[in-house]
Structure 1
Amino acid sequence: MHGGGNGTLRVADQSYWNKPMASYLIRYHSNQLRSIVFAPDSKLHYSLYVDYAELMEYDPRLAHLIFTEPMKYLEQFDEAAIWANKIILGELGDNEKGVEKKFIHVRINVSGSPLECPETNPSIGRVRVKHRGILLTLKGTVIRSGSIKMHEGERLYMCEKCHNSFTVYPELEARNSITPPSVCPVRGSKPCGGKKFQYVDNSIVCHDYQEIKIQESTQVLGVGAIPRSIIVILKDDLVDMVKAGDDVVVTGILTAKWSPELNSVRCDLDPVLVANHVRRTNELKSEIDIPDDIVTKFKQFWINFKDEPLKGRNAILRGICPQVFGLFTVKLAVALTLIGGVQHVDASGTKVRGESHLLLVGDPGTGKSQFLKFAAKLSNRSVITTGLGSTSAGLTVTAVKDGGEWMLEAGALVLADGGLCCIDEFDSMRAHDRATIHEAMEQQTISVAKAGLVTTLSTKTTVFGATNPKGHYDPEQPLSVNTTLSGPLISRFDIVLVLLDTKNPEWDAVVSSHILSEAEPDRNRNDDDLANTWPVSTLKRYIHFLKENFRPVLTREAEIVISSYYQLQRKSATHNAARTTVRMLESLIRLAQAHARLMFRNEVTLVDAITAILCIESSMTTSAIVDCIGNALHSNFTENPDQEYAKQERLILQKLGSIDELSDINSMEH
C-alpha cells in the first residue's frame, strides 16, 4: 500500500528525476510522443517503447535505478511521459490538433541489452526470492490465457478529523483489495491521528486486467525435467496481446500474491510477474543462427555436385538418422516432410497448406520411433507425444477451471504451431481425438466450443505419426483396414510408408554388420566434410535456410507429369480409394516443391515431379506404375543414383504416356 507517508519523498525524487526522464523521451522518442499526441482518444492507455540499451548509454545511473527499483521509477517514468506529452502538445503549430493524454506507459524493451544475462533472464524454474523487486525477463510459451477483467486502480479517502484527502492503492498480495489505513497517513506539522475516513465519491480509477500463464519451453529442458510455469499479470494496453500457444518474452517485476481460497488446500504466496513489456516471438522463430560462411559452404557443396545432383542429395540424406541402416525411401520422406512445400492462397482466398504430413506404418523394430526422435531434433520447435498418452487436451486444447473461472489450455498441436508435432502410437488415439485432429491437419486450425469458450486456435504444424499395423499386415487389404485409421484421416497424410519386416537373409546380414561397425569408434570422422557426413547441427541449419529462402514454382514439364500421374491414379483407384483424392494432387505439388528446395533450387523441374511420384508410389499399397518399388524397409542408397533415376524417369514417362507432350515442349523451347 502506498500511503501518504512517503509522498513527500516521492515528490522530492520526482523533481530530480522527472526532468532527465522527460528530456530523454523528447530527445529520443519524439516520433512516438507525437503519434500519441495525435491519437484522438484521451481515455485510452498508450505504450511508449524504450530500449534499455539506449537508455543505459544515455544515463547509466537512471538505467540502474530502473533495474533495481522498477516499482518506484517506472511509475515516475510514466509521469515523465505524460509531462513530455504536454510539452510536445505545447509545441504544435496552429494547423496541428493534438489531444492531451492521461495514461501513457513506458515499456522497457531489454532485447539485446546487458539485462539479457542469466541473472536477470533466468528460466522460469529458477525464479527465486532474490529476483523479487528487480526488472526480470522471462521466456516461455503461453499455455493459458484468462479473461479480461476490470480492477480498481486507486481510491480517494478523506480524514474526518483533519479533512485532508489521500489516495490508497490496491495490494497485489491481498488479491488487489483496497483497505483504508488504520491511522491518518497525512503528515502536517504534527500527525492528526484520525481513525475515521470517508470515501470520496466518483474517485475510482479502473484498469483492464488479465492473467496469463507461461511455461518454459520443453526444448531447453533436460530429460525428466518438469516444465515450470508462472502467472503473468497484464494491465491496461498489454491485455489481449497474446493467446494460448504464443511464444513470448516478458519483462516485468516479480512479486507474490495469495493463491485462491480452495477447500482443504493450504493458502500460499504464489510468485507472479507483473508485466511491463511483452514481446511475441512467434514470427521470430529463427533462433537458429546461420553465419555467412555456412551459407557459402552450402553453395560450394552444390557447385561440387553440379554434374551429379542426386549423389549430392543422397549425401545429405545419409545424415538423417545415420544409426539406422539403409531405409533410403524413409529418409527421403522425412527430409521432404521437414522441408515442406510453399503455402499459397487460391482464388477464393482459402489458404492451401504448405506443411506436409508423414505416417510410418510398420512392424515392431523397424526404426519408426528413431525417425520420430531424430525429426524432432532437426526442427527448431517440436513436441513429441504418444496417441494414448495424450488426452484430448494433450493433443488439442482443453477448458480448465481455475479460481472459479474457465480458461483454455493449449495442447501438443497448438504448442507445436510453426514446428513439428510427432505422435507415436498414432492408432491408439481416442475416438474423439481423431475428430479434432482432422481439422488441425488440413485447415491448420482447431475450433473450440467448451464451457462457453468459442474460439479458433492456430495449428500450423507438420504432423509426423508412427503406428503399428493391427496384427499381421495383410497386403491384400486396404491401408485403413490394416491400421484401423479412417480413410479421411489417411488421406490427410502426404506420404504413408509401410515398413514390413519380411525375413530377408541378405538384408539381415548387411544390417547386422552395419550395427556392429557402428559400435566401433570411428576415428577418421571429419564433421566439416559435407560430401560424406552431415552432422545434425548442419542439417538443422540447412533445413531452416531452405524454408526461409526458397519459394519454388512449378515448370510446365512438372505440371504435365503431376497431372498425368494424378489422372492415372484416379482411374485405378479401387484399392487406394482413401489416398486418391484431390488431396493427393496437392501432396504431389508440396513434395515436388520440397524436393526442389532440398536440391537448392527455386523452380520445380521434371526431376522433382518424378521424385514426388516415386514417394507417393512407395506409399501406395498397390502400385499404379512402378513394379520395382518393393518394401520401403529394404530400400538402400544406390552407388549411381543419377543413372538409376534416368531409368526410373524413362519407365514412369512411358507408363504415363507423357513423353510426346514433353518432347513437344522441349522442341518449342529450343
Structure 2
Amino acid sequence: MYGPIKLHRIQSTDKATGANHLNISIPVLLKRDIAGSCSPGDVVHLVAFVRQRWKRLRRGERLDIEIFLDALDIQVLNLGRKSHLYVLDDTKGNLSLHAKIAPAASYRSFWQRHGKDEIMARAQIVDAIDCGLLGLDNSKLALLLTAIGGCLNPQDVPTPSGTSVTNKWSKYSRANSCHSGTECSASDWDQSTQPKSQLSQPKSHRMKSSAAYGGPPTRTNCHVLFLGSPGTGKSQLLKYASNLTGRYVAVSGTNCSTAGLTCTLIREGSETMLGVGALVLADGGICCIDEFVLIPAEDKACLHEAMEQQNISIAKAGIKCSLRCRCTIIAASNFSSVKNSNFSSQYDSCMVLVDDPLPLLSRFDLIIVLKECPLSDLELSNFLLEETINNGNDFKPKPKSQHPTNACDTIDWSVGQTLRDYIHYIKTHIMPTLSESAKTILNAYYTQLRQVASTCKNGGGPTVRTLESLIRLSQAHARLLFRNLVDVLDVVSVIWLYEFGLSGCTVGSSLGNEQAIERFGLFPHIVSIFQDYAGAAGGGLKFGNGIVNVKMYRYFESLLLNQLGLAKGPNGVAPAI
C-alpha cells in the first residue's frame, strides 16, 4: 500500500522569530492524510522528525547531505483559531477574558441590546479601529466593510470543512471525517447552519454546486482604493488591515513586478517549480498595496484577472496552470486634481486623476478620496500631543455602561483579536439576502447614475460592476450589523459611504493626453450639504466621519430618497406618487 506524498517548503515568519532578516526555508515531507492539508501562505504548527538525505548527484559537484522534516502532524493556525472574547465587566470596570462564552450568544446579545440604535453600535465597532487617525471614521468603515465582503446565495454556499473541497488530496484528510468523539476546527460549520436544501442533496451534488469548478459567477471579495495627498493617513489604514484577517500580505508599488505579484519560475537543477507571489500568498485574506500608482503599467496588467476572476493563469516554460488568489486588495495612491468640465454646470467639480487604466479602476468597489486633514490645527496638535503622552498605554479605562447587565452583553472590540474573531464569524455564518426595498433603492440609484453618465463628454461612468459593488457592500454592512437581511439602512448607509468617500469629486483616468471618467456621485456638492447640516446641528461634526448618529442618518436618508424619487411607507420603499 502506497500513500500520497507531497513535498512542501516552509519558512519562518517574522512574528515567530522576532528577527529582522530574510526568512529561512526548509523542505517538509507530508505523507498520507496530511498531504495537501495546507497551501502556500498558511501559518502552520508542525510536528516532525528532523532527518537527513543525500542531495541530487550532479557532475562536477561534491555529494552532500541536506536537512529535511518528516512531518507527523500539521495544523493550520489561521483557519482553526480558537475565539477568545474580551468583555467589559460593568460591575468591576475592568476587562476579563471569557473563552467559554459562545461567540454567537455574545454577539446576538450585543445586537439585541443595541437594536434600537444600530448606528451607535456600529460606531463602537468603528472606534475600535485604533490606527492613530482621528476624524476618518468613514474611511475606517470602508476598510471594515471591504474586509468583510459580500456572500454567495445560500444555495451556492460550499460544503464547510477544515480543507477546501477543491483540494485533490482532501479525500485523504482527517478534517473530512469529524466523528462525534472528536473536536472539529473553529472554521467548521455545524450542520444546523447549512441550508436544508443543501443537506437534502447528495454529497457529490453539493460539491458540484459550490465554487469547486471555477468559482462563483461573481466575486464576493471587495476591493478599496484610498486616494490622497501625502500625510493623509493612507498607509496607516493599510497597516491596520493586518488586524482584521488571519492572512495578510503587504507590498509597496515602488518594488512591485508581475512575478512578485503573481508567481515566478524557480529552477533547481533540471526541475522547474513555481514560486508564488503576493496575491497567491494572500489567498483567503488581504493584500495591501501601497503606492499603487507607482507600479509599472505593464505589471498592472496582471491585476485585471486577479481582481475580478480571482485567478491567475500561468503559461510559462511548459507549465500551464491556474492559481487562485481569492483575496481582498486594499490599495493606496496619490492623485492629481484638475477642473472637471466633462459634465453640465450642475456637475462641475474637482476631478481626481489617477495614472491607472479605466478597467482597473472599475474593479475597485470603493474609492475613498482623502483631500485634506478633517481636523483644525488646534485639534490636530492636541491629538498628537495626547498620543505622545499616552504612548505605551495599551489599555484605557472605559466609562461604565448606563445599562449594567451581564458581562457578555458588553463587548470590548478594541482588545485582543475580538474584532478579527467577529469578522471571521460573520463571514462564516451570516449570509444575508436583499429585501425588496433594498432592490428598489439600488435600482433607482444605479439608473440615475447612468442618466448622469449620458451627459459626459468623454464617456465612461458607472457600469454593471458599480451595481455589483453596491450589492456586495450592502451585504457586508448587513453582516456587520449581524443581520441576515439587507434592509434600507444597509443600502442607504453604503450609498452615503460611496458619496462621502468621493468628497464631491469625479475620479478619472489619465493615461497620456486622454482623460476618461470612471466614478462620480449624485451629490457633487456633498461638502456644502454636510456643512449646512453641521451648522444647523450645532457643530462638532466632521466630514471625514460620515453619518455618526440616528438623527443624522434620518436626514440623509430622506435627502437620498427625495433625490431618487422614492418614498418610505409602512410597506417599504416605493416610487413617490
Could you give the per-residue CA deviations for residues 450-481 of structure 1, whole angstroms, max 9, x where no partner exists?
Answer: 11111111111111111112xx4335289997
What's the CA shift for 1:246?
A: 5.7
Residues 375 and 401 of structure 1, relative CA distance in 2, 3 Å threshold: same
Residues 630 and 217 of structure 1, relative CA distance in 2, 3 Å threshold: farther
Alignment partners' CA distance in 1, 2:325 and 2:23: 21
Aligned residue in 2 for 1:571: 451
Deviates more, 1:255-264 or 1:220-229: 255-264
Secondary structure at the aligned position of 1:651 is classed as: helix
Q: For the Cα contact (< 8 Å) 2:138–2:546, is it kept in 1?
A: no
Alignment partners' CA distance in 2, 1:359 and 1:300: 34
Secondary structure at the aligned position of 1:324 is classed as: coil
**Among 523, 545, 549, which residue is 1:641 paired with?**
549
What's the CA shift for 1:298?
A: 3.3
**Among 540, 547, 552, which residue is 2:432 paired with?**
552
Alignment partners' CA distance in 1, 2:27 and 2:265: 17
What's the CA shift for 1:276?
A: 5.0
Once the two structures are superposed, the pairs formed by residues 137-286 of structure 1 within 5 Å of their partners are 211-217=7-13, 219-222=15-18, 224-234=20-30, 244-245=40-41, 251-260=47-56, 268-275=64-71, 284-286=79-81
Once the two structures are superposed, the pairs formed by residues 454-603 of structure 1 within 5 Å of their partners are 454-469=320-335, 472-474=336-338, 476=340, 482-501=353-372, 507-521=376-390, 525-526=397-398, 534-535=414-415, 537-573=417-453, 574=456, 580-603=462-485
Secondary structure at the aligned position of 1:630 is classed as: helix
Alignment partners' CA distance in 2, 1:326 and 1:519: 18
Residues 561 and 465 of structure 1, relative CA distance in 2, 3 Å threshold: same
Aligned residue in 2 for 1:293: 101
**Amino acid paired to 1:651:** L
Q: For the Cα contact (< 8 Å) 2:225–2:367, is it kept in 1?
A: yes
Alignment partners' CA distance in 2, 1:602 and 1:576: 41
Aligned residue in 2 for 1:303: 112
What's the CA shift for 1:252?
A: 4.0
Computing the radius of gyration from Cα coordinates, the structure with the larger value is 1
What's the CA shift for 1:247?
A: 5.8
Q: For the Cα contact (< 8 Å) 1:387–1:427, is it kept in 2?
A: yes
Give structure 2 stretches of 5+ with no counterpart: 86-98, 158-208, 343-349, 402-409, 507-519, 531-540
Alignment partners' CA distance in 1, 2:289 and 2:356: 14
Alignment partners' CA distance in 2, 1:474 and 1:509: 30
**Amino acid paired to 1:525:** P
Q: For the Cα contact (< 8 Å) 2:547–2:553, is it kept in 1?
A: no
**Among 39, 42, 45, which residue is 2:2 paired with?**
45
Alignment partners' CA distance in 2, 1:334 and 1:602: 21
TM-score under structure 1 normalisation? 0.61
TM-score under structure 2 normalisation? 0.70
Residues 576 and 639 of structure 1, relative CA distance in 2, 3 Å threshold: same
Secondary structure at the aligned position of 2:338 is classed as: coil
Alignment partners' CA distance in 2, 1:576 and 1:451: 42
What's the CA shift for 1:546?
A: 1.9
**Among 549, 554, 564, which residue is 1:656 paired with?**
564
Alignment partners' CA distance in 2, 1:475 and 1:545: 45
Secondary structure at the aligned position of 1:564 is classed as: helix
Q: For the Cα contact (< 8 Å) 2:262–2:278, is it kept in 1?
A: yes
Residues 481 and 558 of structure 1, relative CA distance in 2, 3 Å threshold: closer
Secondary structure at the aligned position of 2:101 is classed as: helix
Alignment partners' CA distance in 2, 1:267 and 1:476: 69
Alignment partners' CA distance in 2, 1:324 and 1:270: 49
Alignment partners' CA distance in 1, 2:459 and 2:381: 38
Once the two structures are superposed, the pairs formed by residues 82-97 of structure 1 within 5 Å of their partners are none
**Among 130, 137, 143, which residue is 1:328 paired with?**
137
Residues 387 and 524 of structure 1, relative CA distance in 2, 3 Å threshold: closer
Aligned residue in 2 for 1:451: 317
Alignment partners' CA distance in 2, 1:481 and 1:666: 34
Q: For the Cα contact (< 8 Å) 1:328–1:635, is it kept in 2?
A: no
Matched, 1:357 2:223: yes
Could you give the per-residue CA deviations for residues 283-341 of structure 1, whole angstroms, max 9, x where no partner exists?
Answer: x3545455353734433432332222101111211111352011121011011111111
Q: For the Cα contact (< 8 Å) 1:358–1:494, is it kept in 2?
A: yes
Residues 543 and 233 of structure 1, relative CA distance in 2, 3 Å threshold: closer
Residues 575 and 45 of structure 1, relative CA distance in 2, 3 Å threshold: farther
Q: Paired residues, what number? A: 458
Deviates more, 1:477-486 or 1:595-604: 477-486
Alignment partners' CA distance in 1, 2:309 and 2:501: 23
Residues 381 and 243 of structure 1, relative CA distance in 2, 3 Å threshold: closer
What's the CA shift for 1:351?
A: 3.0
Alignment partners' CA distance in 1, 2:60 and 2:231: 49
Alignment partners' CA distance in 2, 1:453 and 1:289: 44
Instruction: Among all aligned residue pairs of Structure 1 and Structure 2, give the percentage whose two residues are the same amino acid.
Output: 34
Alignment partners' CA distance in 1, 2:144 and 2:50: 44
**Among 564, 582, 607, which residue is 2:489 paired with?**
607
What's the CA shift for 1:624?
A: 3.7
Q: For the Cα contact (< 8 Å) 2:135–2:542, is it kept in 1?
A: yes
Alignment partners' CA distance in 2, 1:537 and 1:495: 26
Residues 566 and 273 of structure 1, relative CA distance in 2, 3 Å threshold: same
What's the CA shift for 1:268?
A: 5.0
Residues 567 and 242 of structure 1, relative CA distance in 2, 3 Å threshold: same
Deviates more, 1:226-235 or 1:538-547: 226-235
Secondary structure at the aligned position of 1:592 is classed as: helix
What's the CA shift for 1:342?
A: 0.7
Aligned residue in 1 for 2:526: 629
Matched, 1:403 2:269: yes
Alignment partners' CA distance in 2, 1:491 and 1:239: 39
Secondary structure at the aligned position of 1:498 is classed as: strand
Q: For the Cα contact (< 8 Å) 2:9–2:25, is it kept in 1?
A: yes
Alignment partners' CA distance in 2, 1:467 and 1:517: 29
Secondary structure at the aligned position of 2:414 is classed as: coil
Alignment partners' CA distance in 2, 1:370 and 1:545: 25
Alignment partners' CA distance in 2, 1:238 and 1:575: 59
What's the CA shift for 1:588?
A: 0.4
Give structure 1 stretches of 5+ with no counterpart: 1-43, 47-207
Secondary structure at the aligned position of 1:455 is classed as: strand
Aligned residue in 1 for 2:96: none
**Amino acid paired to 1:569:** L
Aligned residue in 2 for 1:393: 259
